[in-house]
Amino acid sequence: MTRIRRDTRETQITLEVHRQGSDIEIDTGDTFLDHMLVTLARYAGLGLTIDATGDLRHHLIEDVAIALGTALREEIPTEAERYGWATVPMDDALVRAAIDIGGRPWYEGGLPSDLYDHFLQSLATNLGATLHVVVDRGRDRHHIVEAGVKATGLALRQALRKGSGGGIFSTKGAVAIEFLDSEEM
């Protein structure tokens, strides 16, 4: 379990995430954001509690994604599967997502909502993940965004699973980074 509080002049966020949980309680004051966060948590198999307020919708959505990505980064098991992918059909929409939680932040997307495209970008960047979301088809913006969030959640569930191979899923092995004082350099 990881708990964080993120406060700025624009937003106040308290968040708790459990990699192997099921309790989900979301209150951001934005009905659609709440819906997408519940959807992401359920499809990713996460326990998630978020209490958030913000001055503007853009700030709220972006900062919740930053906080969630930051917290999820702490939940990655050393022996994670690392990669995940999923395709989700939702009525007229068909959306694919592929993720690598190996510490190389990158986002490529194309959701028909700048706010939710930015949400996924902020999530991926702060999680340290490469995330590609591809919209194959769709007309209804709600369906496309929701299918994208569901596909991301399913891919994340797969990537976060503890690997069956008993080791780190990388040819590099574990990457160790140590911060040095300027005097040590």
pLDDT value for 163: 80
Q: What are phi and psi of 29, to 5 degrees?
A: 85, -5
Tell me whether residue 185 is in a domain: no
**Partners of 100 in the beta sheet?**
83, 130
- Kindly state the tokens that stand for 154: 């399913």
Q: What is the CATH number of the domain that holds 134?
A: 3.30.230.40
Q: Which domain holds residue 35?
A: 2-170
**Can you tell me which residue has the tokens 């999923």?**
86
User: How many domains in the chain?
Assistant: 1
- Mean pLDDT per block of 10 residues along the chain (185 residues) reads 98 96 96 98 98 98 98 95 98 98 96 98 98 98 98 98 67 61 66
pLDDT value for 176: 59
Tell me whether residue 182 is in a domain: no
pLDDT value for 99: 98
Tell me whether residue 120 is in a domain: yes
Tell me whether residue 184 is in a domain: no
